[in-house]
Structure 1
Amino acid sequence: MRNIKQIMKNLLFNNRGSVSIYAIIIILPVFLMNALFIDTMRILVAERQIESSLDAALRSTMAKFDTKLANLGLFAYSGDEGAANGDFQSYLQKATTDSSLSGYNNIAVPNIDMGESSISFDFERNLVDLDVFRSQVIETMKYQAPVQIGTDIFDMFKLNEMSSGDVDNMQDLVDNYEEILELMKKRNNKIDSGKEKIDKFIEEVKALQTKITGKRVTDVKDKIPKNLKTFHELKAYHSRYITLKEMEERDDDEEEEFQNYKASIDSKDLLTAIGVKLYYDDVPLHLIGNNGTLSNPEDSTAKAYNDEIKGMVGTEEEFDDLKSLVIEDSFFEILLNNTDEVYDKLILEENNLDNPNDLSQLSLLELIHYFYNSLLLDDEDLLGVILQAIDDKFTDFENEHFKKIKSEFDKYELIKKELDNADVDAEEEKAETGLSDIFEMLNELKNLSDDQATYNKLEEYVLQYDGAFAGEEEADNSGVFAFIQDAFDRFKYFIEFVEGFPESIRNELYINEYVLANFATKEPYAFTSSDFYKYDTKKGQYIAYGHHVSGMNYFHFLLDITCILLIVNLLDELKRGGFAGPLGFYKAIATAMVMTLTELTSFLDDGKLEWNPFKMFAPSKRFTFTGTMFLRIFLAVKSIDPTYNDGKIRRIQAAASHETNRNLLESPSYIEGHVSGDIKLWFIPQLAEVLPGKVEGNRYKIEKHKVYSY
């Protein structure tokens, strides 16, 4: 027992050999870390070598690009996938280090056992893909485009002092001018209808004097005749009537006289005085409406039209010449108030007729009542006074009311005469003729078909590359103002672009310059031969407008030029005071049409135009506008719309396919390579399992994928 205890004590507390044990404990982890580090370095070197070989093989394979597309700045593989795979395997074999070294040198250049390798094209990422196509074009043009654009366009933009808001105001001016003139015609028609009613009313009122009082009777007969009608007749025979009335007995003839007079008194034909109500009720109908007021007239009445005109004219200086054609509210107020006052003075019954103090305050109807009542009295003087009061009433109507109404209508006739000036029709006809001359020239392009087969082929490409772009609507040739409206809409986009020069479309400007560099617009522009409209000379116009009908793209190109020229000329006329009233308005339009046709003809003949789109601000500065410059501007303006840009890319792709006879769906630009390999691990394979790769036995597996694109 004691021996066992001694052995255990010596084992536990004896110090001999402890250093070796501690050394082993320390050195073993270091050794394992070094082993893992060495194998890791060999793995990293192998991965880098495989990756470099894969990259070199892919680059070498894709070096076989389509030279025809490359001439257009587009890059795609020219062979099929089988040929590309063979090239890739060959290049990969040459690029992979085949080392038989052993020993310590294997740390720097590990021996790699290559496994499977393959390539595949991503046909969904070919040149038909909009993003791929844009990327290649932008890379091609980002250094070329700024030089190609030049300084003229930027210098021109610096002259612009016009904002899109200014164009809106000017467009409203032209639109409102036409609408104001139309409203004035409607207003005047209503006033004319109202005037007919007022004239009828006045005519009927004046006729009352003849019907009621009549003429003075100078030849009084001995006997009272039948059918006495007028007050002068009743007054003339009133004495005879009183005499007959006071007789105790009357013979048959006297009784007949008495009854004739009495019948005239009893009839009291008072409706004669109020018959004018039928005409009076119709007076407001056309002026303010039967249920309207001066402050709130009914729709489609003269006052409502005039209020609308006043609102449109407002305080704009450009409308100063039209303000004289605006009718003041007092016009309607005087017409209505005076007809109301006349009517009131005809029929109102508010006074005590038993003892009227002031006959002038009685209405005509009251005076008539008073006269009939007075006939029963033996007072010739009172009848005379009443007759005079009635005559004074009609004189008051004439002097206090009818003259005011006539004065207002005289002013109106002057306004109407200015608006109905016959020369306006002549100037309007000149403007229409100018527009017809422009369209007569442009319409020559609409029915051409010499190169329709080319456009049919382009359309096939566009449809194949994901749908055709519809292009623009036809220009509205329904009249001068419709065409001017269309021209303003096109010009406004130009000003918005110049005003903002949005950074967001910088890449689209590069693409536009790509179009001009590779699919340019070329002379001739004049209609001298069929070459002026064919695709071969107007490729850029096809890309810009997207019509698949021969001649239509050049038609819209010239139409855009025409619209910009017209609006600039029209605004220049405006600035120089060309909108002086209705006559001046149409003269300005006619003049602008003639100038536009002259400038357009000059461009067609010379292939360029010395012109300044901002001449109203800087009249002395001119720029040389070639067909390319016009097309550059139109492309830039249209490129603000993303939907348009996608359609534009499709047409560029179609043009590229037509140019190179290459289907872009079969022209891949993206390739993916796959390579596998493994290396032998020198130390403990289980240690390498902490690395992200896969360990099988004593070998470390390496998988590499890489995508390459032009």
Structure 2
Amino acid sequence: MKRFVRSERGAVSVYLILIIVPVFLFQAVLIDFARIKLAEKEAESAVKAATRSVMSSFDTKLQAMGLYGLGISQEKSEEVFRTVFAKNLSGQVSSGAFHYVDTRPIVQGERVTPVYTLASHDIFERQLLEDMKIKAPIEFTLEITDKFRKTGTKAPFQFGSQFSKESAELEKLIDQREKKLDEAWQSSEELYRKTGISHTYYQSRIAELDSLASQIGIQTVDEVRNEIVQVESQLQDVQTSIRDLDMSISAISQAGPGGIAGMQAILQSRQALGTQVQLLSQKLKDLQNLLQLIIKYVALLAVTKLEVQANANEIGLLQQTIEPALRTAKQRNDEIRTKLMGITSRPDSESAANGANDVFQSVPVIGDEYFYKYQTAIASVTALFTAFQEVVDSVQLYTAENTNKANQANDGYWTESQNFNQTQSVLESTRMEQNGAISANKQQQKNKIQTILDQAKQSIGGCSLVSTQSSDDELYDRLQDSGSQSSPKGFYQKYREANAQETGIGSEIAYDLEKSEPVSLKAMDMLEAFNNAAEVMRNELYVNEYALTKFNYRTLALEMDQIGAPKISNERGDPRSHVLANQEVEYLLYGFSSCPANISSAYAEMFSFRLAIRTVEALLDPKKELLNLGSPLLVLLAAAAEGAVVAFQDMTKLVKGEAVELSAKFASPALSLTYKDYLRVFMLIHSNNTKLMARMQALIELETGKDLMQATTYIQGNAASDVKLWFIPQIMKLLDGSGVLGCKVTGNRCQFTSTASVAY
């Protein structure tokens, strides 16, 4: 044994084993590791190929609209993915050949996950932009806006819009001032009427009190009453004496003839007492009449003082009504003066091209002296009536002196009131006559405009020519929920909710042809809106052009090319054949649930735009007689009345598909626009309308029948596969937890998962 241990025979073999085995093990691990990584790359390529194969099955109907969305079901997607993935793995190739790696799919390990759909506004808009960038129809839009600037429309548009705003603002201030002056004058006339009535009334009352006072003298009620008592007592005594004499006469008569001499004496005494009774009775009657006069005087004096106080309160209330109205009128007058100074001080206000601005030179500004004299006169009348009240309150007995004093005070306020009314009525009559003339002229211009508006409303039409009302109603019910409980949610509401937006029907755009003045003013605002919109080119232009390219509108079938032949659509999905005929762009713009509402809104806005342009033309050459009246709004209405006639003629051509020259006065070289061009302008002006995307999606689903909620544009493919380990799986399993392998060892195979994402 000892010799065996110490023997050196076979040492080389052991040494070689100790050297070769680790090298072999290292090589085995390295080979399997390389195979795993190669299999992993192969699986990644297979997953990408499978994912791309799934996405190649796009919907052809959506493609006709320039959109790409998955056109197969989820089950079909996973089947295609599974098949392509398996066929791209080396383990699925014929087993007769040698394969360095034998990657095989793991059953039930494949999964296709939809991530984004065309229902998302971000995704939807991105595809629209890509489509329009390729086809480049936006150049026409850029050309139009560029022409607007080059033809010199910006300055006239800005002038028209600015003139309209300033006219409306000034008119509002003027109306407020004149309204307050009318209120003040109405109360002033009431003050004049009351002072006139009061003067006549108190003149008579003072005379009555003076007459009573002259009859009464200086006696008082108590004195007269005491004297009446004394007279009544005397009268009673005399009457008692008469009764005693009557009894004596009766006794003498019974005594016989002997008492005749005594009888005569008694009769004389009784006669004297009778005369005294008559005198006392007359005196008593006079005293009683005097007492009634005194009572009447006292009562009349008290009533007069109360009446004067009540009249003074009424006059004071009128003053409290007049003065605030005058203060407000003066404030508005000051604002008018300030605004006019700002307008007339601008350099462009002297431009000959902007002739309508001359009207601002004639706007009436009332001097401060007018208000000062007005308020002073009213205060003076009130103060003089208060002085009259004080005189009446101080007088107890209307002597000649007091009567004269009261009459002078009564005449004082009435004289002041007469002088004020005589002077002020001339000013107010002139002012109101001018206002009346301006108002009548305004109404005349409004009536002219209204006549054209009524004709325009009768000429809107459009819907009866393209489809029946009942079929349109059914289509709009599918587009937008009509509001009934039995109808399902409309496509529009669905896409609004999918993008976390409110689902209100219609838009913030509202144009009508109802009232002449609002239509005229709002039409001028469109010029400023266009100028602002034309300054900036944004992605909204691409979206707008997509709408005008993929969808139909009222005059699509009426448009002619340069040789007079009907224009042909180059789109795969011809908009002329859409189920919602000749009204889709109008719906996109306004979003109402009926053809008449959308068509009439487009007509009204187009008419307003043409009205604004024609009004500016008239403003550049206004009627001189109107400028002198000093009413900017009247000048604007007169220009609008003139422009409305031409604008209506323009609309007749536009709805027939003809082009209309923008303006012959300020657009040089000439630029002609069609109905479609104006829709393009309106979409440019209203480019911030957040409801446009949902309406487009709703129209696409209505036309194609494809639910964009299911039209996937981005998917993620996941698949599992494994590869056989050639050498020592146990050693590879030791490396499994280290993360170096990138797979999981199960038996003699290593499993791993691959992921790929693809989007249109």
Q: Same fold (TM over 0.5)?
A: yes
CA deviation map 1:312-365 (0-9, x unaligned):
63521266644447984325413322203432553446xxxxxxxxxxxxxx99
> What residue number does 2:493 align with?
467
Q: For the structure 1 residues 418 and 390, does the alpha-carbon distance in structure 2 shift closer, same or farther, using more than 3 Å as the test?
A: same
Select 1:49's aligned residue among 28, 42, 47: 42
Amino acid at match of 1:316: K
Q: Give 1:50 deviation, angstroms.
A: 1.8
> What residue number does 2:382 align with?
340
> What residue number does 2:459 align with?
441
Select 2:399's aligned residue among 372, 381, 390: 372
Gap runs ≥5 in structure 1: 5-9, 11-16, 215-225, 235-250, 350-363, 376-385
Q: For the structure 1 residues 400 and 57, does the alpha-carbon distance in structure 2 shift closer, same or farther, using more than 3 Å as the test?
A: closer
Tell whether 2:532 aligns with 1:510. no
> What residue number does 1:153 align with?
145
Tell whether 2:692 aligns with 1:645. yes
Q: Give 1:309 deviation, angstroms.
A: 3.6
In 2: Cα distance, 1:280 partner to 1:580 partner: 44
Tell whether 2:102 aligns with 1:60. no
Amino acid at match of 2:689: D
Amino acid at match of 1:339: V
Q: Calculate the TM-score normalised by the size of structure 1.
A: 0.69
CA deviation map 1:8-37 (0-9, x unaligned):
xx9xxxxxx99x999979x99888776655
Amino acid at match of 2:51: L
Deviates more, 1:44-53 or 1:316-325: 316-325
Q: 1:421-432 counterparts in 2 under 5 A?
A: 421=437, 422-432=440-450
Aligned residue for 1:282, secondary structure, equals helix
Q: 1:176-215 counterparts in 2 under 5 A?
A: 177-178=171-172, 180-181=174-175, 184-185=178-179, 187-202=181-196, 204-205=198-199
In 2: Cα distance, 1:390 partner to 1:461 partner: 86
Aligned residue for 1:706, secondary structure, equals strand
Deviates more, 1:35-44 or 1:270-279: 270-279
> What residue number does 1:116 align with?
107
Q: 2:589·2:683 contact (CA, 8 Å) conserved in 1? A: yes
> What residue number does 1:596 align with?
644
Q: Give 1:169 deviation, angstroms.
A: 9.1
Deviates more, 1:55-64 or 1:178-187: 178-187
Q: For the structure 1 residues 110 and 138, does the alpha-carbon distance in structure 2 shift closer, same or farther, using more than 3 Å as the test?
A: same
Q: Give 1:157 deviation, angstroms.
A: 5.4
> What residue number does 1:358 align with?
none
Q: For the structure 1 residues 522 and 31, does the alpha-carbon distance in structure 2 shift closer, same or farther, using more than 3 Å as the test?
A: farther
> What residue number does 2:671 align with?
623
> What residue number does 2:721 align with?
677
In 2: Cα distance, 1:401 partner to 1:515 partner: 73
Q: 2:137·2:545 contact (CA, 8 Å) conserved in 1? A: yes
CA deviation map 1:423-444 (0-9, x unaligned):
4443343343343333333378
Q: Give 1:554 deviation, angstroms.
A: 1.6
Select 2:435's aligned residue among 419, 434, 441: 419
In 2: Cα distance, 1:306 partner to 1:640 partner: 41
In 2: Cα distance, 1:276 partner to 1:575 partner: 62
Amino acid at match of 2:103: I
Amino acid at match of 1:471: G
Q: Give 1:595 deviation, angstroms.
A: 1.2
Aligned residue for 1:288, secondary structure, equals helix
Q: 1:123·1:670 contact (CA, 8 Å) conserved in 2? A: yes
Aligned residue for 1:74, secondary structure, equals coil
Q: Give 1:89 deviation, angstroms.
A: 4.7
In 1: Cα distance, 2:205 partner to 2:558 partner: 80
CA deviation map 1:272-328 (0-9, x unaligned):
799665544333534533xxx94xx3xxxx336525643663521266644447984
Aligned residue for 2:105, secondary structure, equals strand
> What residue number does 1:240 align with?
none
> What residue number does 2:681 align with?
633
Gap runs ≥5 in structure 2: 218-278, 344-359, 481-488, 495-502, 560-575
In 1: Cα distance, 2:178 partner to 2:454 partner: 27
> What residue number does 1:354 align with?
none
Q: Which has the higher contact order (CA 8 A, sep 6+)?
A: 2
> What residue number does 2:584 align with?
539
Q: 2:377·2:416 contact (CA, 8 Å) conserved in 1? A: no
Amino acid at match of 1:153: T
In 2: Cα distance, 1:546 partner to 1:592 partner: 29
Amino acid at match of 1:561: M
Deviates more, 1:460-469 or 1:546-555: 460-469
Q: 1:186-585 counterparts in 2 under 5 A?
A: 187-202=181-196, 204-205=198-199, 278-286=310-318, 288-289=320-321, 294=323, 297=324, 302-303=325-326, 306-307=329-330, 309-310=332-333, 313=336, 315-317=338-340, 321-324=362-365, 328-348=370-390, 372=399, 402-421=418-437, 422-442=440-460, 450=468, 452-454=470-472, 456-457=474-475, 459-460=477-478, 463=489, 465=491, 467=493, 470-472=505-507, 475=511, 479-484=515-520, 487=523, 494=530, 496-498=532-534, 501=536, 506-521=538-553, 523=555, 535-569=580-614, 581=629, 585=633
Q: For the structure 1 residues 431 and 338, does the alpha-carbon distance in structure 2 shift closer, same or farther, using more than 3 Å as the test?
A: farther
Aligned residue for 1:420, secondary structure, equals helix
Amino acid at match of 2:544: N
In 2: Cα distance, 1:166 partner to 1:586 partner: 14
> What residue number does 2:251 align with?
none
Q: Give 1:592 deviation, angstroms.
A: 0.8
Aligned residue for 1:695, secondary structure, equals strand
How many corresponding residue pairs? 611
In 1: Cα distance, 2:652 partner to 2:64 partner: 31
Q: Give 1:374 deviation, angstroms.
A: 5.8
In 2: Cα distance, 1:437 partner to 1:47 partner: 76
| C-alpha RMSD of the superposition | 5.3
Q: For the structure 1 residues 273 and 626, does the alpha-carbon distance in structure 2 shift closer, same or farther, using more than 3 Å as the test?
A: same
Select 2:65's aligned residue among 60, 66, 72: 72
Q: Calculate the TM-score normalised by the size of structure 2.
A: 0.65
Q: For the structure 1 residues 398 and 58, does the alpha-carbon distance in structure 2 shift closer, same or farther, using more than 3 Å as the test?
A: closer
Aligned residue for 2:661, secondary structure, equals strand
Amino acid at match of 1:557: A
Amino acid at match of 2:56: A
Amino acid at match of 1:414: T
Aligned residue for 1:640, secondary structure, equals coil
Q: 1:208·1:273 contact (CA, 8 Å) conserved in 2? A: no
Aligned residue for 2:65, secondary structure, equals coil
Q: 2:213·2:399 contact (CA, 8 Å) conserved in 1? A: no
Q: For the structure 1 residues 119 and 112, does the alpha-carbon distance in structure 2 shift closer, same or farther, using more than 3 Å as the test?
A: closer
In 2: Cα distance, 1:161 partner to 1:89 partner: 66
Q: Give 1:549 deviation, angstroms.
A: 1.7
Amino acid at match of 1:197: L
In 2: Cα distance, 1:165 partner to 1:47 partner: 71
CA deviation map 1:247-292 (0-9, x unaligned):
xxxx99xxx9xx99xx89x969878799665544333534533xxx
Q: For the structure 1 residues 311 and 475, does the alpha-carbon distance in structure 2 shift closer, same or farther, using more than 3 Å as the test?
A: farther
Aligned residue for 1:150, secondary structure, equals helix
CA deviation map 1:381-426 (0-9, x unaligned):
xxxxx97x99987887677664244212321221111112244443
Q: For the structure 1 residues 457 and 331, does the alpha-carbon distance in structure 2 shift closer, same or farther, using more than 3 Å as the test?
A: same
Q: 2:81·2:110 contact (CA, 8 Å) conserved in 1? A: yes
Q: Give 1:517 deviation, angstroms.
A: 1.5
Q: Give the structure with higher Rg (CA).
A: 2
Q: For the structure 1 residues 365 and 568, does the alpha-carbon distance in structure 2 shift closer, same or farther, using more than 3 Å as the test?
A: farther
Amino acid at match of 1:199: R
Deviates more, 1:57-66 or 1:692-701: 57-66
In 2: Cα distance, 1:287 partner to 1:434 partner: 47
Q: Give 1:188 deviation, angstroms.
A: 1.0
